[in-house]
Amino acid sequence: MKQLSQHPNLSGRLMFEITESSNIKDLEKVGEFVSELQKKGFTVALDDFGSGSASFQYLQSLNVDYVKIDGKYIRKLLTSQRDASMVKNLTQMCKDLGIKVIAEFVEEEAQLNLLRSMGVDYVQGYLLGKPGPKPDYVKPASLAVITPKIAKNS
Q: Quick check: helix, strand or coil at residue 148?
A: coil
Q: Check residue 151 and give its pLDDT.
A: 40
pTM of the predicted model as reported, rounded to 2 decimal places? 0.82
**Can you tell me the distance from the alpha carbon of 143 to that of 78, in angstroms, rounded to the nearest whole number?**
21
Q: What are residue 55's phi and psi, to 5 degrees?
A: -50, -60
Q: What is the pLDDT of residues 109-137, one digit of tens each?
A: 999 999 999 999 999 999 988 887 876 66
Q: Check residue 145 and give its pLDDT.
A: 56
More confident of the two residues 55 and 43: 43
- Mutual orientation of helices 81-97 and 109-118 as an angle, nearest 10°? 40
Percent of the chain with pLDDT over 90: 60
Q: What is the pLDDT of residues 48-102, one digit of tens each?
A: 998 877 788 889 999 999 999 999 999 999 999 999 999 999 999 999 999 999 9
| pLDDT tops 60 at residue 143 | no
Do 69 and 102 touch, CB atoms closer than 8 A? yes
CA-CA-CA-CA torsion sign (152, 109, 84, 104): negative
Q: Which domains does the chain have, with CATH numbers?
A: 2-130 (3.20.20.450)
Bridge-based pairing of strands 144-145 and 122-123 is: antiparallel
| pLDDT tops 50 at residue 141 | no
